[in-house]
């Protein structure tokens, strides 16, 4: 889940060919249901100024089948790597 932040986290994950996402193991959720349980309150309370009210659920590289075959790397990244940090803390 990529939030839209004033420092451009969303664009950073969109324009380059390679996107590496780093997240805590404790932030891995079991399924879509759990994701929306978390998203609902977040997007609602986010209506206060300064908080992030938008998020992208990204599941992999951008892709298209519009040119006659499946191609990875359409308008967004061609490659996505997810690094999961077990146990430790992420520097915010």
Partner 1 sequence: MSESRSAKAAEIRRLMRTEGDAVARGTRGFNLGRYESVADLEDYEELKDRAREIKEDAIERLPELIDRLRERVEENGGTLYVAEDAADANRYVRRVAEDRGAGRLVKSKSMTTEELDLNDHLEAAGIDVVETDLGEWVLQVADESPSHIVAPAIHKSREEIAALFNEVFEPDEPLETAAELTAFARDELGELIAGADVGVTGANFVTADTGTIALVTSEGNARKTAVVPDTHVAVAGVEKVIPSVEDLRPFVELIGRSGTGQDITSYVSLLTPPVESPTVDFDDPDAPMADAAAERDFHLVLVDNGRTAMCEDDQLRETLYCIRCSACSNSCGNFQSVGGHAFGGETYSGGIATGWEAGVEGLDTAAEFNDLCTGCTRCVNACPVKIDIPWINTVVRDRINRGADPSAFDPLVEGLTPDAEPAGMSLQKRFFGNFSTVAKLGSATAPLSNWVANTGPARELMERTLGVDRRRDLPAFERETLRKWFDARGGSRVPAAAAAREAVVYPDLYTNHVQVDRGKATVRALEALGVHVRVPAVASSGRAPLSQGMVETAERHARDVYGALAEHVDAGRDVVVVEPSDLAMFEREYAKFLPETSHERLAGSSYEAMEYVYGLLRNGADASALRGAADAESAGVAYHSHCQQRTLGLEAHTVAVLEELGYDVLTSETECCGMAGSFGYKAEYYELSVDVGEPLREQFTSPEARGRTIAASGTSCLEQLESLLSRPTRHPIQLVAPRGGD
Residues that bind partner 1 (CB under 8 A): 4-11, 14-15, 32-33, 36-37, 39-40, 43-44, 46-47, 52-71, 73-77
Q: Which is nearer to partner 1, 45 or 85 (CB)?
A: 45
Q: Which is nearer to partner 1, 27 or 37 (CB)?
A: 37
Q: Nearest-CA neighbor of 60 among 30, 36, 33, 80?
A: 80
Q: Nearest-CA neighbor of 13 among 54, 53, 51, 61?
A: 61
For the bound state, the minimum distance from the C-beta of residue 46 to partner 1, rounded and expressed in Å, comes to: 7
């Amino acid at each position: 889940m990529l939030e839209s932040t004033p420092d451009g986290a969303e664009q950073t994950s969109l324009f380059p060919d390679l996107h590496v996402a780093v997240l805590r193991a404790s932030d891995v959720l079991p399924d879509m249901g759990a994701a929306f349980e978390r998203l609902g309150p977040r997007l609602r309370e986010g209506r206060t100024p300064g908080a992030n009210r938008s998020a992208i659920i990204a599941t992999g590289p951008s892709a298209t089948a519009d040119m006659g075959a499946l191609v990875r790397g359409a308008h967004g990244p061609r490659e996505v790597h997810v690094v999961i940090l077990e146990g430790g803390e992420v520097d915010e």
